[in-house]
A and B are shown apart, each in its own frame.
Chain A
Amino acid sequence: MEPYVLSNAVAVGLLAGLLWALVSARRSRVWRDAGRELLRRRPIALTVFLAYVAIGLLDSLTWVSASSGGTPQGDSVSLHKPRSTIDRLFPDESYREKSYSAPLADREFLGGAPLRHPGRHLLGTDILGRDVVYQTLKGARVALLVGGFTTLIAIPLALLFGVAAGYFGGRIDDAVFFLISTLASMPSLLLLIALIMALGRGPAQVCLALGITGWVSFARVVRGETLKLRELDYVHAARALGASDLRIVLRHIVPNLMHLVVIAFVLTFSGLVLSEAVLSWLGIGIDGSWGRMIDQARDELSREPIIWWNLVSASVALFGLILAVNLLGDAVRDILDPRTLRERA
């Protein structure tokens, strides 16, 4: 199977999962109210975040052009290369320049040779002549992959271990607690570095390493909450009626942890994206991320005259996403956290 087919499948799967979650959340009054409240409090942050998601999803939908139409220009290899929706907004390989060019310039920045596409690069080009707008747009998909996809690995892991430890107690609790305390007693950046160095560099490895370090703190919260839920009357009632452990966990424990899952998802997201930027800076991040763009641009401010467009573009894109997610995270926590619910009542 071609790799791009898999990427399409993941994108469609994620979209379907999101829609399913939305539809099923609409059925419950608590979630409907929470959603409405979020929309009322943070309309702009929500829109910005969804815009990033849309760009990331568009960039994940990739297909090979049907070669029948038109006369083939250039070599046949590039013609049969799968290109995403975002790729198609820009002309093909020939869109590249030779080196730096300033925004909307018609000459190269160093040397002043005429460009192939004068005035067409809205934010200029980087050292290899790649269009900065194009690179920045492509970075959205990487950021969402790091933030969203990794959280989707970490949260089920945390739920599994946390609920098992809290519900069953005893030996299982001891084992999970040992695992959690071991992972939590290692400084997180050093653990991340150790994981990536051992697993090897690459996007999958970075996501895996972030996932392994990311689930620990949430598992601790889940364990504590499960310990509380386990002793509630309706759980006792369900057990007295003869419900199996699996049924109690799935029907009575996990649904009551969902608000924590949503809070953890939003709060973990920005931390993961920021971690990736740090890893890129250390040379073990993911290619094509904004962190990597920033890393490549770090010496450009010391040039005379300075080259700013590369750095500024990646930084603003990163800042916008993190700010939107942080604002959403605060609102989500305020809305869903039962402690604040009690205070408001």
Chain B
Amino acid sequence: MWAYVVRRLAYSLVTVLGVLLLLFVLFFLVTNPDDIARKAVGEKAPPQALEQWKKNHGYDKPRFWNQKHPTDTMLVDHFRRMLTFDFGNSDADDTPIWRRLKSGAGPSLSFMLPLFVLELLLTISLGLLVAFFRETYIDRMGVILCVLAMSISTVLYIIGGQYLIARVLRWFPISGFDPSPSVIARFLAIPVLVGLLSGVGDGVRFYRAVFVEESGKDYVRTARAKGCGEGRILVYHVLRNSLVPILTQVVVVIPYLVMGSILLESFFGIPGLGSITFDAINANDFATLRTMVYLGSLLFILGQILTDVSYTVVDPRVRLE
């Protein structure tokens, strides 16, 4: 298995290089450094200030080829800095990007982790429930509700959830964040609830499909013939054998655990990495944005390797060669 992991890591390095190349094309070739500098220093700034800003942020170098110093180009710089995690300063206000990442990771994690765990528990148990009642009216109602819930845009859940819970029912504060343990739950309650609601339709439908598919297999029929109860079959046989698709679904979420939710965090005033990304969009802060995309991709690739390894744990038939 270790040989597999090493080979997988080598492949991932190629993918990471691909991601970096794409980011270079997007942020250094398609976008003109002059435009970025112009937006950062202002329309009326003198040319010297423009040049100085470009020099400070490394946008003054040649893109691909430097006659005197072949390694002193934007391409080499971009790859070297990203691969050594030296992200430099923000394009908008010159704060070190690392400081921002450190300040944002905590709030994002404290918001996304409860959301993630609760959502997983809720969708899987609802999925099991609906699968238990498959081909009855409860199942059909469940599927219809899921399709209805899926057809509502996330932004409507955010507006509607805040309006209903904070303004009409007045259960929790409208927005804001305070990391002290005694009050953090009060501030996170609405965003977590809204996040749960907006993901539940999709999730339940997916898990129902997985469980129903698994329920049609031969070993389930055998278990039933032996006299196993329907509930026991679902939990001990079907759920265990569905762990592979469940794990696959879980990995997709991993990067967002740290990267946060751009929509929810920015709207509810949680100062996580999602909010930082949102601010970077509005401030045309390209340095922060490409760092976020890079880190998100990195976490995603890592998550994929972890899933493959975890398959061997939940399913002994899977051997990684």
Contacts and interface: CB of A to CB of B under 8 A. Distances in A.
A186 B155 contact: no
B293 A323 contact: no
Contact of B256 (A187, A199, A270): A187
Given A185-B297, A185-B301, A294 B22 contact: no
A271 to B, nearest CB: 10
Given A282-B278, A283-B282, A291-B155, A185 B304 contact: yes
B147 interface: yes
A202 to B, nearest CB: 14
A270 B150 CA distance: 10
Contact of B27 (A178, A181, A194, A283): A194
A85 interface: no
A191 interface: yes
A246 interface: no
B193 interface: no
Interface residues of B, number: 43
Give the interface SS of chain A, mostly helix, strand, loop or mixed: helix
Contact of A294 (B30, B159, B162): B159
Contacts of B151: 270, 319, 322-323, 326
Identify whether the interface residues of B are mostly helix, strand, loop, or mixed: helix
B15 A190 contact: no
A319 B149 CA distance: 10
B19 A274 contact: no
Residue with the greatest number of chain B CB neighbours at <10 A, chosen from A193, A194, A291: A194
Nearest to B252: A187
Given A281-B155, A323-B148, A190 B259 contact: yes
B67 interface: no
A216 B27 CA distance: 21
Contact of A182 (B22, B263, B289): B22
A186 B263 CA distance: 18
A182 B298 CA distance: 11
23 contacts: A186-B297, A186-B300, A189-B262, A190-B259, A190-B277, A190-B292, A190-B297, A193-B293, A194-B23, A194-B27, A195-B26, A198-B26, A198-B30, A274-B153, A278-B154, A283-B281, A302-B163, A315-B153, A322-B153, A323-B151, A326-B147, A326-B151, A327-B147
Interface of A: 178-179, 181-183, 185-187, 189-191, 193-195, 197-199, 270, 274, 277-278, 280-284, 291, 294-295, 298, 301-302, 311, 315, 318-319, 322-323, 326-327, 330
Given A186-B297, A301-B162, 19 more contacts: A181-B15, A181-B18, A182-B22, A185-B19, A186-B19, A186-B22, A187-B297, A199-B30, A277-B153, A277-B155, A291-B155, A294-B153, A294-B155, A295-B155, A301-B163, A301-B167, A318-B156, A319-B151, A326-B151
Q: Which 8 A-B pairs have the closest CB atoms?
A: A182-B18, A198-B26, A323-B151, A322-B151, A187-B296, A277-B153, A198-B30, A186-B297
